[in-house]
Protein backbone atom coordinates (compact mmCIF):
# COMPACT_ATOMS: atom_id res chain seq x y z
CA UNK A 1 0.00 0.00 0.00
CA UNK A 2 2.88 2.34 0.77
CA UNK A 3 4.27 1.79 -2.73
CA UNK A 4 0.86 2.56 -4.23
CA UNK A 5 0.56 5.71 -2.11
CA UNK A 6 3.94 6.95 -3.31
CA UNK A 7 3.01 6.09 -6.89
CA UNK A 8 -0.15 8.17 -6.61
CA UNK A 9 1.80 11.05 -5.06
CA UNK A 10 4.88 11.12 -7.30
CA UNK A 11 3.87 9.28 -10.47
CA UNK A 12 0.33 10.71 -10.39
CA UNK A 13 -0.82 7.48 -11.94
CA UNK A 14 -3.44 5.05 -10.71
CA UNK A 15 -3.64 2.59 -13.60
CA UNK A 16 -2.47 -1.03 -13.67
CA UNK A 17 0.70 -1.61 -11.69
CA UNK A 18 1.57 -4.88 -13.46
CA UNK A 19 0.70 -4.63 -17.13
CA UNK A 20 -1.43 -7.42 -18.55
CA UNK A 21 -0.68 -9.15 -21.84
CA UNK A 22 -3.60 -7.24 -23.36
CA UNK A 23 -2.22 -3.89 -22.16
CA UNK A 24 1.23 -4.74 -23.49
CA UNK A 25 -0.26 -5.65 -26.88
CA UNK A 26 -2.33 -2.46 -26.97
CA UNK A 27 0.67 -0.30 -26.15
CA UNK A 28 2.83 -2.11 -28.71
CA UNK A 29 0.22 -1.46 -31.38
CA UNK A 30 0.75 2.28 -30.85
CA UNK A 31 4.45 2.08 -31.74
CA UNK A 32 5.19 3.03 -35.37
CA UNK A 33 6.58 0.20 -37.47
CA UNK A 34 9.74 2.18 -38.27
CA UNK A 35 10.49 2.61 -34.58
CA UNK A 36 9.80 -1.09 -33.99
CA UNK A 37 12.38 -1.90 -36.66
CA UNK A 38 14.90 0.41 -34.98
CA UNK A 39 14.27 -1.25 -31.62
CA UNK A 40 14.65 -4.70 -33.20
CA UNK A 41 17.96 -3.65 -34.81
CA UNK A 42 19.30 -2.43 -31.48
CA UNK A 43 18.06 -5.52 -29.66
CA UNK A 44 19.75 -7.83 -32.15
CA UNK A 45 23.10 -6.04 -31.76
CA UNK A 46 22.93 -5.94 -27.96
CA UNK A 47 21.94 -9.61 -27.88
CA UNK A 48 24.82 -10.63 -30.16
CA UNK A 49 27.36 -8.78 -28.04
CA UNK A 50 25.90 -10.20 -24.82
CA UNK A 51 26.10 -13.70 -26.27
CA UNK A 52 29.76 -13.08 -27.10
CA UNK A 53 30.37 -11.97 -23.51
CA UNK A 54 28.65 -15.07 -22.17
CA UNK A 55 30.82 -17.30 -24.34
CA UNK A 56 33.87 -16.04 -22.43
CA UNK A 57 32.42 -17.49 -19.19
CA UNK A 58 32.78 -21.25 -19.25
CA UNK A 59 32.45 -23.93 -16.59
CA UNK A 60 35.91 -25.33 -15.89
CA UNK A 61 37.35 -28.14 -13.78
CA UNK A 62 40.94 -29.18 -13.16
CA UNK A 63 43.00 -31.43 -10.90
CA UNK A 64 44.93 -28.97 -8.71
CA UNK A 65 47.00 -31.74 -7.07
CA UNK A 66 46.46 -35.51 -7.30
CA UNK A 67 43.06 -36.31 -5.84
CA UNK A 68 41.78 -32.70 -5.64
CA UNK A 69 39.35 -31.68 -8.37
CA UNK A 70 38.43 -27.97 -8.28
CA UNK A 71 36.28 -26.00 -10.66
CA UNK A 72 33.93 -23.15 -11.23
CA UNK A 73 30.41 -22.76 -12.58
CA UNK A 74 28.74 -19.61 -13.92
CA UNK A 75 25.18 -19.69 -12.61
CA UNK A 76 22.69 -16.92 -13.48
CA UNK A 77 20.87 -15.10 -10.70
CA UNK A 78 17.24 -16.15 -10.48
CA UNK A 79 15.42 -12.81 -10.60
CA UNK A 80 16.57 -9.50 -12.09
CA UNK A 81 14.95 -6.09 -11.74
CA UNK A 82 15.64 -3.68 -14.60
CA UNK A 83 14.90 0.00 -13.98
CA UNK A 84 14.15 1.99 -17.14
CA UNK A 85 14.03 5.80 -16.74
CA UNK A 86 10.97 7.44 -18.22
CA UNK A 87 10.57 10.79 -16.49
CA UNK A 88 12.45 13.62 -18.16
CA UNK A 89 13.25 11.48 -21.20
CA UNK A 90 11.91 8.07 -22.19
CA UNK A 91 14.97 5.79 -22.18
CA UNK A 92 13.87 3.16 -24.68
CA UNK A 93 17.47 2.02 -25.08
CA UNK A 94 17.83 1.32 -21.35
CA UNK A 95 15.08 -1.29 -21.64
CA UNK A 96 16.99 -2.91 -24.49
CA UNK A 97 20.35 -2.82 -22.72
CA UNK A 98 19.22 -4.19 -19.35
CA UNK A 99 16.49 -6.69 -20.22
CA UNK A 100 18.33 -8.21 -23.19
CA UNK A 101 21.51 -8.72 -21.17
CA UNK A 102 19.65 -10.36 -18.28
CA UNK A 103 17.82 -12.62 -20.75
CA UNK A 104 21.02 -13.75 -22.45
CA UNK A 105 22.58 -14.44 -19.05
CA UNK A 106 19.75 -16.88 -18.38
CA UNK A 107 17.86 -15.16 -15.54
CA UNK A 108 14.69 -17.10 -14.73
CA UNK A 109 12.53 -14.03 -14.12
CA UNK A 110 13.04 -10.47 -15.37
CA UNK A 111 11.01 -7.45 -14.28
CA UNK A 112 11.17 -4.22 -16.30
CA UNK A 113 10.18 -1.23 -14.17
CA UNK A 114 9.54 2.23 -15.62
CA UNK A 115 7.83 5.36 -14.26
CA UNK A 116 4.45 6.05 -15.88
CA UNK A 117 3.55 9.50 -17.12
CA UNK A 118 0.72 11.13 -15.11
CA UNK A 119 -2.65 9.66 -16.09
CA UNK A 120 -1.05 8.13 -19.22
CA UNK A 121 1.26 5.29 -18.27
CA UNK A 122 4.61 4.02 -19.51
CA UNK A 123 5.77 5.18 -22.92
CA UNK A 124 4.49 2.55 -25.41
CA UNK A 125 7.93 2.22 -27.01
CA UNK A 126 9.45 1.27 -23.63
CA UNK A 127 6.70 -1.31 -23.15
CA UNK A 128 7.29 -2.73 -26.63
CA UNK A 129 11.09 -2.86 -26.13
CA UNK A 130 10.88 -4.49 -22.70
CA UNK A 131 8.47 -7.13 -23.99
CA UNK A 132 10.50 -7.81 -27.13
CA UNK A 133 13.71 -8.19 -25.15
CA UNK A 134 12.26 -10.76 -22.77
CA UNK A 135 10.76 -9.08 -19.70
CA UNK A 136 8.47 -11.46 -17.84
CA UNK A 137 6.61 -8.65 -16.08
CA UNK A 138 6.39 -4.90 -16.71
CA UNK A 139 5.91 -2.76 -13.61
CA UNK A 140 4.39 0.71 -14.07
CA UNK A 141 6.02 2.45 -11.13
CA UNK A 142 8.84 4.94 -10.76
CA UNK A 143 11.43 6.09 -8.25
CA UNK A 144 12.05 4.53 -4.87
CA UNK A 145 8.64 2.85 -4.89
CA UNK A 146 9.51 0.97 -8.09
CA UNK A 147 12.91 -0.04 -6.74
CA UNK A 148 11.31 -1.23 -3.49
CA UNK A 149 8.61 -3.18 -5.32
CA UNK A 150 11.22 -5.19 -7.22
CA UNK A 151 13.46 -5.69 -4.19
CA UNK A 152 10.78 -6.87 -1.77
CA UNK A 153 8.69 -8.77 -4.29
CA UNK A 154 5.57 -6.62 -4.05
CA UNK A 155 2.54 -7.19 -6.32
CA UNK A 156 3.30 -10.93 -6.57
CA UNK A 157 6.70 -10.34 -8.17
CA UNK A 158 9.65 -12.54 -7.19
CA UNK A 159 12.13 -10.80 -4.90
CA UNK A 160 14.93 -9.44 -7.09
CA UNK A 161 18.42 -10.84 -6.65
CA UNK A 162 19.95 -7.93 -8.57
CA UNK A 163 18.82 -4.42 -9.57
CA UNK A 164 20.25 -2.85 -12.72
CA UNK A 165 19.70 0.20 -14.85
CA UNK A 166 20.20 3.96 -14.60
CA UNK A 167 17.93 6.41 -12.81
CA UNK A 168 17.83 9.77 -11.11
CA UNK A 169 19.48 10.55 -7.78
CA UNK A 170 16.57 9.04 -5.83
CA UNK A 171 16.81 5.75 -7.70
CA UNK A 172 20.59 5.73 -7.21
CA UNK A 173 20.23 6.36 -3.48
CA UNK A 174 17.58 3.65 -3.12
CA UNK A 175 19.93 1.16 -4.79
CA UNK A 176 22.78 2.24 -2.52
CA UNK A 177 20.66 1.75 0.61
CA UNK A 178 19.46 -1.68 -0.54
CA UNK A 179 22.87 -2.95 -1.65
CA UNK A 180 23.68 -6.04 0.38
CA UNK A 181 20.10 -7.16 0.64
CA UNK A 182 20.12 -7.20 -3.15
CA UNK A 183 22.91 -6.94 -5.71
CA UNK A 184 23.23 -3.82 -7.85
CA UNK A 185 25.11 -3.06 -11.04
CA UNK A 186 26.49 0.29 -9.84
CA UNK A 187 25.57 3.55 -8.15
CA UNK A 188 25.27 5.73 -11.22
CA UNK A 189 25.75 9.48 -11.13
CA UNK A 190 25.19 11.99 -13.93
CA UNK A 191 26.37 10.80 -17.33
CA UNK A 192 29.75 12.17 -18.46
CA UNK A 193 31.82 12.17 -21.63
CA UNK A 194 35.40 13.04 -22.61
CA UNK A 195 36.80 13.61 -26.10
CA UNK A 196 40.50 13.34 -26.98
CA UNK A 197 41.18 15.28 -30.18
CA UNK A 198 44.10 16.68 -32.15
CA UNK A 199 44.38 19.18 -35.01
CA UNK A 200 42.99 16.62 -37.50
CA UNK A 201 39.62 16.43 -35.71
CA UNK A 202 36.54 18.10 -37.20
CA UNK A 203 35.58 20.87 -34.74
CA UNK A 204 31.89 20.55 -35.65
CA UNK A 205 31.84 16.80 -34.94
CA UNK A 206 33.56 17.40 -31.59
CA UNK A 207 31.18 20.23 -30.66
CA UNK A 208 28.08 18.25 -31.65
CA UNK A 209 29.22 15.26 -29.61
CA UNK A 210 29.88 17.42 -26.55
CA UNK A 211 26.41 18.98 -26.77
CA UNK A 212 24.81 15.58 -27.33
CA UNK A 213 26.04 14.47 -23.93
CA UNK A 214 25.51 17.81 -22.14
CA UNK A 215 21.80 17.74 -23.04
CA UNK A 216 21.36 14.68 -20.79
CA UNK A 217 21.07 16.90 -17.72
CA UNK A 218 22.12 20.11 -16.01
CA UNK A 219 24.88 18.30 -14.11
CA UNK A 220 26.32 16.14 -16.91
CA UNK A 221 30.03 16.92 -17.31
CA UNK A 222 31.65 17.01 -20.75
CA UNK A 223 35.36 17.44 -21.34
CA UNK A 224 37.55 18.14 -24.37
CA UNK A 225 41.23 17.25 -24.00
CA UNK A 226 43.46 18.30 -26.89
CA UNK A 227 47.00 19.27 -27.81
CA UNK A 228 45.74 21.87 -30.33
CA UNK A 229 44.72 25.27 -28.93
CA UNK A 230 43.13 26.34 -32.22
CA UNK A 231 40.76 23.35 -32.08
CA UNK A 232 39.93 24.14 -28.46
CA UNK A 233 38.97 27.72 -29.29
CA UNK A 234 36.94 26.72 -32.33
CA UNK A 235 34.96 24.15 -30.35
CA UNK A 236 34.30 26.68 -27.56
CA UNK A 237 32.93 29.08 -30.18
CA UNK A 238 30.67 26.43 -31.74
CA UNK A 239 29.11 24.84 -28.65
CA UNK A 240 27.03 27.84 -27.46
CA UNK A 241 25.67 28.28 -30.99
CA UNK A 242 24.59 24.64 -31.14
CA UNK A 243 23.03 24.79 -27.68
CA UNK A 244 21.01 27.87 -28.61
CA UNK A 245 19.19 25.86 -31.31
CA UNK A 246 17.92 23.20 -28.89
CA UNK A 247 14.32 22.96 -27.63
CA UNK A 248 13.81 24.58 -24.24
CA UNK A 249 14.31 21.60 -21.91
CA UNK A 250 17.34 20.29 -23.79
CA UNK A 251 18.74 23.82 -24.03
CA UNK A 252 18.39 24.48 -20.31
CA UNK A 253 20.15 21.21 -19.49
CA UNK A 254 22.96 21.74 -21.98
CA UNK A 255 23.49 25.38 -21.03
CA UNK A 256 23.84 24.54 -17.35
CA UNK A 257 26.07 21.52 -17.99
CA UNK A 258 28.35 23.52 -20.32
CA UNK A 259 28.46 26.52 -18.00
CA UNK A 260 28.97 24.70 -14.70
CA UNK A 261 30.68 21.39 -15.48
CA UNK A 262 32.38 21.49 -18.88
CA UNK A 263 36.15 21.79 -19.25
CA UNK A 264 38.41 22.28 -22.25
CA UNK A 265 41.96 21.22 -21.44
CA UNK A 266 45.01 21.89 -23.64
CA UNK A 267 47.90 19.47 -23.09
CA UNK A 268 51.48 19.49 -24.29
CA UNK A 269 51.37 16.11 -26.05
CA UNK A 270 49.48 12.82 -26.41
CA UNK A 271 51.07 11.29 -23.33
CA UNK A 272 49.75 14.15 -21.20
CA UNK A 273 46.35 13.82 -22.89
CA UNK A 274 46.23 10.12 -22.01
CA UNK A 275 47.24 10.79 -18.41
CA UNK A 276 44.57 13.49 -18.12
CA UNK A 277 41.91 11.16 -19.51
CA UNK A 278 42.88 8.34 -17.15
CA UNK A 279 42.69 10.74 -14.22
CA UNK A 280 39.10 11.70 -15.15
CA UNK A 281 38.16 8.06 -15.92
CA UNK A 282 35.19 9.10 -18.09
CA UNK A 283 32.05 7.09 -18.66
CA UNK A 284 32.34 7.66 -22.42
CA UNK A 285 35.74 8.25 -24.03
CA UNK A 286 36.01 9.23 -27.70
CA UNK A 287 39.36 9.39 -29.53
CA UNK A 288 39.24 11.82 -32.47
CA UNK A 289 42.97 11.58 -33.19
CA UNK A 290 44.07 9.33 -36.04
CA UNK A 291 47.54 8.70 -34.59
CA UNK A 292 46.61 8.22 -30.94
CA UNK A 293 47.94 5.09 -29.21
CA UNK A 294 44.83 3.79 -27.44
CA UNK A 295 46.93 1.33 -25.43
CA UNK A 296 47.89 4.34 -23.29
CA UNK A 297 44.31 4.52 -22.04
CA UNK A 298 43.19 2.33 -19.15
CA UNK A 299 40.30 4.10 -17.37
CA UNK A 300 37.00 4.44 -19.25
CA UNK A 301 33.50 2.98 -19.27
CA UNK A 302 33.44 2.49 -23.03
CA UNK A 303 35.98 3.56 -25.66
CA UNK A 304 34.89 5.01 -29.02
CA UNK A 305 37.76 4.97 -31.50
CA UNK A 306 37.68 7.43 -34.40
CA UNK A 307 35.21 10.11 -35.50
CA UNK A 308 32.87 7.50 -37.00
CA UNK A 309 32.32 5.99 -33.55
CA UNK A 310 29.70 8.30 -32.07
CA UNK A 311 28.81 7.88 -28.41
CA UNK A 312 25.19 8.14 -29.58
CA UNK A 313 25.65 4.87 -31.50
CA UNK A 314 26.73 3.23 -28.26
CA UNK A 315 23.84 4.83 -26.40
CA UNK A 316 21.33 3.15 -28.69
CA UNK A 317 22.30 0.33 -30.94
CA UNK A 318 25.99 -0.52 -31.44
CA UNK A 319 25.86 -3.55 -29.13
CA UNK A 320 28.14 -2.98 -26.11
CA UNK A 321 26.10 -1.97 -23.07
CA UNK A 322 25.43 1.72 -22.40
CA UNK A 323 24.99 1.28 -18.63
CA UNK A 324 28.47 2.44 -17.65
CA UNK A 325 30.44 3.63 -14.60
CA UNK A 326 30.27 7.38 -13.89
CA UNK A 327 32.05 9.86 -11.60
CA UNK A 328 35.46 8.20 -12.01
CA UNK A 329 34.24 4.69 -11.16
CA UNK A 330 35.85 3.44 -14.39
CA UNK A 331 39.10 3.37 -12.39
CA UNK A 332 37.87 0.20 -10.70
CA UNK A 333 34.83 -1.11 -12.60
CA UNK A 334 33.35 -1.64 -16.04
CA UNK A 335 29.89 -1.37 -17.53
CA UNK A 336 26.88 -3.62 -17.23
CA UNK A 337 27.48 -6.99 -18.85
CA UNK A 338 26.24 -10.56 -18.86
CA UNK A 339 28.86 -11.25 -16.20
CA UNK A 340 26.97 -9.22 -13.59
CA UNK A 341 23.98 -11.53 -13.89
CA UNK A 342 26.19 -14.60 -13.43
CA UNK A 343 27.53 -15.89 -10.13
CA UNK A 344 30.95 -17.50 -10.53
CA UNK A 345 30.82 -20.29 -7.95
CA UNK A 346 33.56 -22.75 -7.11
CA UNK A 347 33.38 -26.51 -6.57
CA UNK A 348 35.76 -28.89 -4.79
CA UNK A 349 35.83 -32.69 -4.81
CA UNK A 350 38.55 -34.62 -2.97
CA UNK A 351 39.22 -38.33 -3.34
CA UNK A 352 40.40 -40.75 -0.67
CA UNK A 353 43.84 -40.61 -2.25
CA UNK A 354 43.93 -36.82 -2.20
CA UNK A 355 42.69 -36.07 1.29
CA UNK A 356 45.74 -37.09 3.34
CA UNK A 357 48.12 -34.43 2.11
CA UNK A 358 45.44 -31.73 2.27
CA UNK A 359 44.51 -32.79 5.79
CA UNK A 360 48.06 -32.43 7.07
CA UNK A 361 48.64 -28.96 5.59
CA UNK A 362 45.20 -27.71 6.64
CA UNK A 363 45.67 -29.05 10.20
CA UNK A 364 49.03 -27.31 10.50
CA UNK A 365 47.60 -23.99 9.28
CA UNK A 366 44.58 -24.28 11.59
CA UNK A 367 46.87 -24.95 14.56
CA UNK A 368 48.93 -21.86 13.67
CA UNK A 369 45.76 -19.78 13.60
CA UNK A 370 44.47 -21.22 16.86
CA UNK A 371 41.24 -22.64 15.42
CA UNK A 372 40.94 -25.93 17.30
CA UNK A 373 38.10 -27.60 15.46
CA UNK A 374 39.35 -26.51 12.09
CA UNK A 375 42.43 -28.52 13.04
CA UNK A 376 40.34 -31.47 14.26
CA UNK A 377 38.14 -31.35 11.14
CA UNK A 378 41.28 -31.74 9.08
CA UNK A 379 42.94 -34.39 11.26
CA UNK A 380 39.86 -36.63 11.36
CA UNK A 381 40.30 -37.04 7.60
CA UNK A 382 43.96 -38.11 7.65
pLDDT in tens, 282-321: 999 999 998 999 999 999 999 999 999 999 999 999 999 9
| Mean pLDDT to the nearest integer, 237-261 | 96
pLDDT score, position 16: 94
pLDDT score, position 119: 81
Our measurement of the distance from residue 255's CA atom to the centroid of its chain's CA atoms, rounded to an integer in Å, reads: 26
Catalytic residues: 283-284
The predicted-structure confidence for 118-132, as pLDDT tens digits, reads as follows 988 999 999 999 999
Residue 81 has pLDDT above 80, yes or no: yes
Under DSSP, the state recorded for 206 is: H
292: left (phi over 0), alpha (psi -120 to 50) or beta: beta
Residue 224's φ and ψ, nearest 5 degrees, are -115, 125
pLDDT score, position 14: 86
The predicted-structure confidence for 311-340, as pLDDT tens digits, reads as follows 999 999 999 999 999 999 999 999 999 999
User: Radius of gyration over alpha carbons of the chain, in Å?
Assistant: 25
pLDDT score, position 262: 98
pLDDT score, position 189: 87
- The mean pLDDT of the chain is 96
| Mean pLDDT to the nearest integer, 26-47 | 98
pLDDT score, position 38: 98
Instruction: Give the SS3 label for residue 87.
Output: coil
Burial class (CB in 10 A: 0-12, 13-18, 19+), 20: exposed
Question: Which is nearest to 341 in space by CA: 188, 165, 137?
Answer: 165
Residue 86 has pLDDT above 90, yes or no: no
Residue 5 has pLDDT above 90, yes or no: yes
Amino acid sequence: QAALDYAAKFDKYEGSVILSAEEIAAASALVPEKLKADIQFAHDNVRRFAELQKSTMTDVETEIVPGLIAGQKAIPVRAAGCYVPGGRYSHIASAIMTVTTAKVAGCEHIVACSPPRPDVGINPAIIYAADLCGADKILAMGGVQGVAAMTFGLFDLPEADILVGPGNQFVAEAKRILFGRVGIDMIAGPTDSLILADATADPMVVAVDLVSQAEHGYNSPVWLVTDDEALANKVMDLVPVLIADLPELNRMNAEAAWRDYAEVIVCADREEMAACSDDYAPEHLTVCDTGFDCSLLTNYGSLFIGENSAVAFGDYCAGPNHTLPTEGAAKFSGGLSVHQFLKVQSTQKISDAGRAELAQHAANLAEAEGLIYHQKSSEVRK
